Amino acid sequence: MEQEYKLKLIGEEIENYKVEERIWQGGTSTIYRGICENGIFGKVVAIKVLHPYRTESYQIKNFKKEFKILKKLSHPNVIKVYKIGKKGNLYYFIMEYIDGKSLRNFYEKNSEIFPQSILYILIKTGEGIEYIHSKKIVHNDIKPENVIVGNNLKDVKIIDFGYAEKIGFLKRRNNLIGGTEKYVAPERKKGFIDLKSDIYSYCVMLEEYLSIFDFYEEIYPIINLGKSEDLTKRPEIEDILNVLRKIYNKG
pLDDT in tens, 86-122: 999 899 999 999 999 999 999 988 867 789 999 999 9
Last residue of a domain, one of 96, 127, 149: 96
Do both 130 and 231 map to the same domain? yes
Based on the fold, state whether residues 152 and 182 are members of the same structural domain.
yes
Identify the domain boundary among 41, 67, 96.
96
The reply to whether 156 and 38 lie within a common domain is: no
Residues 42 and 78 in one domain: yes
Tally of structural domains, the chain? 2
Q: For residues 82 and 173, state if they share a domain.
A: no
CATH of the domain at 182: 1.10.510.10
- Residue 71 and residue 137 share a domain: no
What's CA 216's distance to the chain center, in Å?
25
* Band of residue 197 on the pLDDT scale cut at 50, 70, 90: very high
208 and 242 inside one domain: yes
Residues 92, 194, single domain; the answer is no
The per-residue pLDDT for 112 is 74
169-190 pLDDT per residue, tens: 544 555 556 678 999 999 998 8
Average pLDDT of every residue of the chain: 91
User: Do 22 and 143 have their domain in common?
Assistant: no
Same domain, yes or no, for 117 and 222?
Answer: yes
Residue 241's domain comprises: 100-249
Task: Give this prediction's pTM.
Answer: 0.93
DSSP string, 47-105: EEEE-TT--SHHHHHHHHHHHHHHHT---TTB--EEEEEEETTEEEEEEE--SEEEHHH
The tens digit of pLDDT for each residue in 6-56 reads 547 899 999 999 999 999 888 889 999 999 999 999 999 999 999 988 889
Domain CATH code at residue 83: 3.30.200.20
Phi-psi bin for 127: left (phi > 0), alpha (psi -120 to 50), beta? alpha
Could you tell me if 200 and 226 lie in one domain?
A: yes
148 and 72 together in one domain? no
Q: Encode burial over 25-50: b for 16+ CB neighbours within 10 A, e otherwise.
A: eeebbbbbbbebeebebeebbbbbbb
**Among residues 96, 129, 151, which one ends one of the domains?**
96
